[in-house]
Amino acid sequence: MIDKINDLIDRVKAFQPKAAQEIEDFRIRMMGKKGELNAIFEEFKTVAPELKRELGQRINELKTLTAERINELRDRFAEQESADGPAIDMTRPGSADDLGSRHPISLVRNEIVEIFSRMGYTVADGPEIEDDWHVFSALNFPPEHPARDMQDTFFIEKNPDILLRTHTSSIQVRTMEHQKPPIRVICPGRVFRNEAISARAHCIFHQVEGLYVDENVSFADLKQSILYFAKEMFGESSTIRLRPSYFPFTEPSAEVDVSCNLCGGKGCNVCKHTGWLEIMGCGMVDPAVLEASGIDPAKYSGFAFGMGIERIAMLKFGVRDLRLYFENDVRFLHQFDSVIG
Ligand code: PHE
């Protein structure tokens, strides 16, 4: 029996686990119910009384040694693990970053800006919180005139009126106030109108408006510029038509329709079977507007146009509901990942 105990003592001393789990297995094998130690204790009951003293001491040594060794090994492994941090598999492939992409409104705005910059336009910017003069009065909307009802306005302060701009025409006024003709600017930006939100209307949307003022600018120049834009934006085969309309700041004024690029003008659901899609308003700048900004209408003439970016993007990408632009649902946004802009 003494040999067996000595052998176990040697095994305990020599035990070198490679993983924490091996320590637990070893503990069960040695100290578990059916382990080596219990077997020794059982055998001990049967030894001759004169041997008990020496054997008993040796068994106790084995027991203490085993318990100490297990504790020591456990501590060592715990220390190592906290020094290394949790086990990391360095060979695993990294998780790819989810790259964002441009919002469809930005894509279309950039494209509009790009097309007009090829015609020599530069981008002008202005404040979203405006005064009455730059949004209405300088643009030939007299106070109390019913034309103001065309753009239901969010007012911030009354007398004097401070409001959220309802169109980016305010930037055109600011440009004319600070720049002498020739002027060729486009004004992209966010605008605000007090509209109930639906699939076709929103209280916040985006516009690009343009202004061209120089000597001898004619309606033919306006029409040709818009035609060029429509072909660049919607395809070479696109045509336009102008319908007479009314804006206080232009005379004459027109709405521009582009031929429906889905049915090629034959008529479909999107163009409501007319073959035409409305894309913008335009007209020759009213002489009163030039005069209000300090430009001599006897010497200069100009044209202006304005379009909603959401609307152009809807036609270009086939988006049916305006609200999708504002919800930031990545399932919608990721569909534009491959569009370069
Ligand atoms: N400012 C007009 C609007 O927001 C658009 C427009 C601009 C119309 C320039 C004609 C000329 O409704």
Predicted local confidence at residue 85, as pLDDT: 67
- In sequence order, the β-bridge partners of residue 256 are 242, 280
- Tell me what the mean pLDDT of segment 219-229 comes to: 98
The Å distance, Cα 305 to ligand 1 centre, comes to 6
Scanning 213-256, the segments in alpha helix (DSSP H) are: 219-234
DSSP conformational letter for 276: E
| Residue 281, ligand 1, Cβ within 6 A | yes
Q: Are 311 and 277 in contact (CB under 8 A)?
A: no
* 126-180 per-position pLDDT tens digit: 999 999 999 999 999 998 888 888 888 999 999 999 999 999 999 999 999 999 9
User: In angstroms, what is the span from residue 280 Cα to ligand 1's centroid?
Assistant: 8
- 98 vs 307, residue with greater confidence: 307
Task: Please write the tens of the pLDDT for every residue from 199-217.
Answer: 888 999 999 999 999 999 9
Which pLDDT score, from 0 to 100, does residue 324 have?
Answer: 94
Please list, in sequence order, all residues whose beta carbon lies within 8 angstroms of the beta carbon of residue 6, skipping any fewer than 6 positions away: 58
308 Cβ inside 6 Å of ligand 1: no
Q: How far is the CA of 285 from the centre of ligand 1 (A)?
A: 11
**Cβ(304) to ligand 1 under 6 A?**
yes
Phi, psi of 193 (to 5 degrees): -140, 145
Q: What is the mean pLDDT of residues 272-294?
A: 96
**Residue 90 confidence (pLDDT):** 83
Q: What is the DSSP letter of 93?
A: P
Predicted local distance difference test score (pLDDT) of residue 265: 82
Rounded mean pLDDT of 305-314?
96
pLDDT, averaged across the chain: 91
Closest C-alpha to ligand 1, atom 9: 305
**pLDDT tier at 341 (50, 70, 90 boundaries)?**
low
Measured CA to CA in angstroms, residue 326 lies from 168, 202, 280, 320 at distances of 20, 9, 22, 13
Mean local confidence (pLDDT), 28-54: 88
CATH code, 104-336 = 3.30.930.10
Question: For residues 124 and 185, is the Cβ–Cβ distance under 8 A?
Answer: yes
Q: How far is the CA of 340 from the centre of ligand 1 (A)?
A: 28
Q: Is 212 in the pocket of ligand 1 (CB under 6 A)?
A: no
pLDDT of residue 234: 93
Strands 162-164 and 129-131: antiparallel
**Mean pLDDT: which of 26-35, 63-72, 168-177 is highest?**
168-177
Percent of the chain with pLDDT over 70: 98
**C-beta of 306 in contact with ligand 1 (< 6 A):** yes
Distance (angstroms) between ligand 1 centre and the Cα of 56 equals 105
Amino acid at 235: G
* Mean local confidence (pLDDT), 285-289: 98
